[in-house]
Amino acid sequence: MNKADVLIIGAGPTGLFCAHQLGIIGLSSEIVDNLDKAGGQCIELYPDKPIYDIPAIPECTGEELTNNLLKQIKPFNINFHLNQRVEELKKVNDRWHVKTNGNKEFDVASIVIAGGVGSFEPRKFTIKECEKFEGNSLFYAVKDKTIFKDKTISIFGGGDSALDWAIELSNTSKVNLIHRRDGFSGMEASVQKIKELNDKGKINLYTKYQLDSVSGDNKINSIKIKHDDGEVKDIKSDYVLGFFGLIMQLGPILDWGLNIDKKKVEVNTENFETNINGIFAIGDICSYPGKLKLILSGFHEGALAARGCFKYAKPNEKLRFEFTTTSKAAQERLGIKND
Amino acid sequence: MSKITYITHDNKTHTIDVQNGLTVMEGAIQNDIPGIDADCGGGMACATCHVYVNDNWSDKLPKKEDGEEDMLDMAFEPRSNSRLSCQLIVSNELDGLIVNIPSKQV
Yes or no, beta carbons of A45 and B40 under 8 Å apart: yes
Same structural domain, A54 and A97: yes
DSSP A49: S
* Residue B33, number of CB atoms within 10 A of its CB: 21
Classify strands A232-236 and A95-100 as parallel, antiparallel or unpaired. Answer: unpaired
Same structural domain, A286 and A256: yes
The confidence score (pLDDT) of residue A217 equals: 92
Q: Which residue among B41, B66, B76 places its CB closest to the CB of A126? A: B76
Same structural domain, A44 and A88: yes
Q: pTM of the entire structure?
A: 0.79
Residue A96's SS3 state is: strand
Same structural domain, A7 and A112: yes
Q: How confident is residue A248, by pLDDT bands cut at 50, 70 and 90?
A: confident
Q: Which residue among A46, A117, A157 places its CB closest to the CB of B39? A: A117
Q: How confident is residue A339, by pLDDT bands cut at 50, 70 and 90?
A: low
Yes or no, beta carbons of A183 and B41 under 8 Å apart: no
Picking from A244, A276, A308, the residue at the C-terminal end of a domain is A244
In whole angstroms, what is the distance from residue A66 CA to residue A13 CA? 6
Phi-psi region of A201 (alpha: psi -120 to 50; beta: other; left: phi over 0): left
Q: What is the CATH number of the domain that holds A179?
A: 3.50.50.60
- Name the interface residues of A facing B (CB cutoff 8 Å): 41, 45-46, 117-118, 123, 126, 157-159, 179-181, 183, 185, 228, 244-249, 263, 284, 293
Same structural domain, A114 and A48: yes
Picking from A244, A279, A313, the residue at the C-terminal end of a domain is A244
Same structural domain, A182 and A270: no
CA A219 vs CA A136, A138, A223, A315, B39: distances in Å: 7, 9, 11, 57, 35
Same structural domain, A230 and A260: no
Q: Which residues of chain B have pLDDT under 50?
A: none
The separation between CA B4 and the C-alpha centre of its own chain, rounded to angstroms, equals 10
Same structural domain, A30 and A95: yes
- Domain assignment of residue A81, yes or no: yes
Same structural domain, A10 and A84: yes
Cα first-last separation, chain A: 39
Residue A314's Cβ-side half-sphere holds a number of Cα atoms within 13 Å equal to: 12
Dihedral, A240, A243, A244, A249 alpha carbons, nearest 10: 100
User: How near does any CA of chain B get to the CA of A322, in Å?
Assistant: 35
The total number of structural domains in chain A stands at: 2
Residue A138's SS3 state is: strand
- Domain assignment of residue A83, yes or no: yes
In whole angstroms, what is the distance from residue B11 CA to residue B14 CA? 10
Same structural domain, A110 and A255: yes
CATH architecture of B2-100: Roll (3.10)
State residue A70 phi and psi, 5-degree precision: -65, -40
State residue A295 phi and psi, 5-degree precision: -60, -40
For residue A265, the surrounding DSSP H or E stretch is: strand A264-266
pLDDT in tens, A128-154: 999 999 999 999 989 889 999 999 999
pLDDT in tens, A150-180: 999 999 999 999 999 999 999 999 999 999 9
Residues of B in contact with A294 (CB under 8 A): none
- Domain assignment of residue A339, yes or no: no
The confidence score (pLDDT) of residue A58 equals: 97
Residue B47's SS3 state is: coil
Residue ranges making up the domain that contains A228? 124-244
- Domain assignment of residue A212, yes or no: yes
The confidence score (pLDDT) of residue A254 equals: 87
pLDDT in tens, A9-61: 999 999 999 999 999 999 999 999 999 999 998 888 778 889 999 999 999 99
Same structural domain, A67 and A203: no
